[in-house]
Amino acid sequence: MPRRGLVAGPDFEYFQRRYFTPAEVAQHNQPEDLWVSYLGNVYDLTPLAQEYKGDLLLKPIVGVAGQDISHWFDPDTRDIRKHIDPLTGCLRYRTPWGRFLHVPPQLPRSDWANDFGKPWWQGSRYEVGRLSAKTRNIRIINTLTSQEHTLEVGALESMWEILHRYLLYNAHAASYTWKYEGKKLNMDYTLEENGIRDEEGEFDRLGMDGARCTPAVLLYFSDDLTEL
């Protein structure tokens, strides 16, 4: 395991999270910062929006910025859904929200450039991570400063990924020992793998407010003040 000073762990200068929550995707909802999710993955379409800035075919994509557009796709082929066009009787892409970039026109046109290579939805060039199918809340309490923050995290995120989220509130987060109920956490494991159960569903079933019983991870300061 690489080390930063006295603290073992990944080099966060190059660290990339695997999962993003729907709430995080929803924050990127402008043409100059445009994310979407579909079929379980998250894509940053900002370069595409910049390349085709001012193009009318970009409008349907801008209209769904920050949203999940899995309903656009056939989950088996991972391609845009298709139908039989009533005008031509041919199989073509189904775009009831309006034709968008890289979708051929309904009828042949001399002004349509098809030299773009693969359509933007094929391949992984715009992929930034996976969409968290399930999220949960976790409280993080700094025992040195008594500061407390509640984070929404993906259920499959490792503790390192959760630490990466927490850097927003504490740049020295890796200089702390992370514990739950007195036990040091394995930072390569998820919350569930560390024995921190997600009981929100049980609280909902019992008609109780699960937010009042969110598990808390306690941070204990170590000697090495390492800033990530």
Closest among 20, 28, 15, 17 to 152, alpha carbons compared: 20
Element (H, E) at 165: helix 159-166
pLDDT score of 136 more than 80: yes
Distance (Å, rounded) from C-alpha 225 to C-alpha 174?
8
Q: Exposed, middle or buried: residue 210 (CB in 10 Å: 0-12, 13-18, 19+)?
A: middle
Is residue 42 very low, low, confident or very high in pLDDT (cuts 50, 70, 90)?
very high
Tell me what percent of the residues of the chain surpass a pLDDT of 70. 89
Contacts of 90 (CB under 8 A, 6+ apart): 84
In the predicted model, what is the mean pLDDT of residues 179-197? Answer: 95
In the predicted model, what is the mean pLDDT of residues 194-211? Answer: 76
Tell me the two tokens of residue 48: 């595409």
pLDDT score of 86 more than 90: no
17-31, 71-85, 120-134, 187-201: which has the minimum mean pLDDT? 187-201
pLDDT score of 211 more than 70: no
pLDDT score of 177 more than 70: yes
Is residue 111 very low, low, confident or very high in pLDDT (cuts 50, 70, 90)?
confident
Distance (Å, rounded) from C-alpha 156 to C-alpha 12?
19
Strands 33-38 and 29-30: antiparallel
The more confident residue out of 3 and 120 is 120
Q: What is the pLDDT of residue 203?
A: 64
Distance (Å, rounded) from C-alpha 89 to C-alpha 12?
54
pLDDT score of 4 more than 50: no
Q: Within a 10 A sphere around the Cβ of 153, how many other Cβ atoms?
A: 22
Tell me the two tokens of residue 147: 């500061």
List of domains in the chain: 22-131 (3.10.120), 134-221 (3.10.20.90)
101-115, 139-153, 163-177, 187-201: which has the minimum mean pLDDT? 101-115
Distance (Å, rounded) from C-alpha 169 to C-alpha 152?
14
Is residue 102 very low, low, confident or very high in pLDDT (cuts 50, 70, 90)?
very high
